[in-house]
Amino acid sequence: MTLGERIDLAREALAQGLAPLPIVLSALEIPRATWYYYRKQKVEADRKREEEDLRLKRAIEEVLLEHPEYGYRRIGQELRRRGLPSTTNASTASYRTSTSP
């Protein structure tokens, strides 16, 4: 079992309240420092992803204000022209959330 799998298993065990943290970590042979390091990395990665999503959503809304007739493909092209890395899936998802009532 990889370290990532053990950490996921520890998260599940703690969420279910099966045992306190020190017991879970020792049973899964996860060093305490590693546990906290992974937790911090996940929080930072989630925050960075949310910031990027918000930036992409704002850019999509800006394109839609300038060109309300654009669909998701043209929005994606416009975002790439503006230098924003966007995949069709990301722009479609953000397009749906920005145009929904």
Q: Which two tokens stand for residue 44?
A: 């930072």
Q: Which domain holds residue 53?
A: 46-84
User: Which of 4, 3, 28 is CA-nearest to residue 14?
Assistant: 28
Residue 26 lies in a domain: no
Residue 100 lies in a domain: no
Residue 52 lies in a domain: yes
Residue 51 lies in a domain: yes
Q: How many CA atoms lie within 13 A of 94 on its CB side?
A: 24
Total domains, the chain: 1
Spell out a b/e string for 27-37, using b for 16 or more CB atoms within 10 Å of the CB, else e: ebebeeeebee
The whole-angstrom separation of Cα 61 and Cα 68 is 9
Q: Note the pLDDT tens digit of each residue in 79-98.
A: 889 888 766 565 555 555 55
Residue 30 lies in a domain: no
pTM equals 0.53
Q: Note the pLDDT tens digit of each residue in 2-49.
A: 888 898 899 999 999 999 999 999 999 999 999 998 888 887 888 888
